[in-house]
Amino acid sequence: MPALFDFESARKELSKKPLPRHIAVIMDGNGRWAKERGLPRVAGHHEGVKSVKAIVEGCGELGVEVLTLYAFSHENWNRPTWEVSALMKLLMRTIHNEINNLDANGVRVRTIGQIDRLPPATLKQVKHAIEVTRRNTGLVLCLALSYGGRIEILEAARRALHEKMTPNRLDEATFSSLLDTAGLPDPDLVIRTSGEHRISNFLLWQIAYSEIYVTPTYWPDFRKKELVDAILDYQTRERRFGLVSEQVKKKKSK
């Protein structure tokens, strides 16, 4: 029988090294999780909500500043109508059920993506969560909804053109301020569940230097232990940002 996971001990171990400020997660594998158990796809989405709750709680307890969850992509609108409808209702119900808990724990909800495409009732619940938690100073829970990285970059370029920015004015910092994630640090760690080795149009600008962690674990099985494993792996990485190891060590010693 495997030993029980001790989150408190794991937290002490993680505190010995720098934590990622911003963790971004591509939540994948709900459908396959359900199929392997002979269940309808929606059962995987429902189980995945439990993982969302566990990871939000875990990141808050660890002191992670930002958690971005790829909840619904721009391309997901092309899924069967019944599945899209079920996902929208699940999102609405989950936010309704969890908003008081999120607020009590100081979590601030924000979104990226074309949220105006959401059904009216779902959009109303999302905006309510943003408003209720807007003054909170704890974990920022950023929900990527109707989100696509290429569209985000295109929209940022359109904003630059609309504001008649000159080429000399448009540097990386200014362009970043035009993106949906303006004001947030770039992700330090990107986690992808279910073993797929692709980015899937997620935060294409922001993850230029993110560490990427791929796990075969399906999202419904990804809980606090798996989060800790991902961060422990992250803490073994040397983040060079284009430098060589000697330069990194010299920079840290200053």
Q: What is the CATH number of the domain that holds 133?
A: 3.40.1180.10
Q: Does any domain span residue 11?
A: yes
What single-letter DSSP state applies at residue 135? T
* pLDDT tens track for 163-189: 999 999 999 999 999 999 999 999 999
Residue of 28, 180, 188, 221 marked catalytic: 28
pLDDT computed for residue 4 by the predictor: 82
pLDDT computed for residue 1 by the predictor: 46
Question: 127 burial class (0-12, 13-18, 19+ CB within 10 angstroms)?
Answer: middle
Q: Does any domain span residue 107?
A: yes
CB 29 within 8 A of CB 193: yes
Which residue carries 């000399």 as its tokens? 168
The letter for the amino acid at 203 is L
Residue 76 annotated to the active site: yes
**127-133, long-range: CB < 8 A, 24+ apart:** 128/95, 128/99, 129/95, 129/99, 129/102, 132/99, 132/103, 133/99, 133/102, 133/103, 133/107, 133/108, 133/109
Q: How many helices and strands, by DSSP H and E, does the chain display? A: 9, 6
Number of compact structural domains in the chain:
1
CB 38 within 8 A of CB 112: no
Q: Does any domain span residue 57?
A: yes
pLDDT computed for residue 245 by the predictor: 67
pLDDT computed for residue 248 by the predictor: 59
Q: Does any domain span residue 1?
A: no
Residues of the chain with pLDDT below 70 are 1-3, 241, 243-254
Which residue carries 């770039």 as its tokens? 186
Q: Does any domain span residue 154?
A: yes
The encoded tokens of residue 161 equal 């053109």
What single-letter DSSP state applies at residue 5? P
Question: 42 burial class (0-12, 13-18, 19+ CB within 10 angstroms)?
Answer: middle
Torsion angle, CA of 221/225/226/232, rounded to 10 degrees?
A: 180
Residue of 30, 76, 97, 101 marked catalytic: 76
pTM: 0.94
Element housing 180 (H / E): none
Q: Does any domain span residue 35?
A: yes
Domain range holding 241? 7-253
What Rg value do the Cα atoms of the chain yield, rounded? 19
Q: Does any domain span residue 116?
A: yes
Residue 171 annotated to the active site: no
Q: Does any domain span residue 2?
A: no
Secondary structure of residue 192 in the 3-state scheme: strand
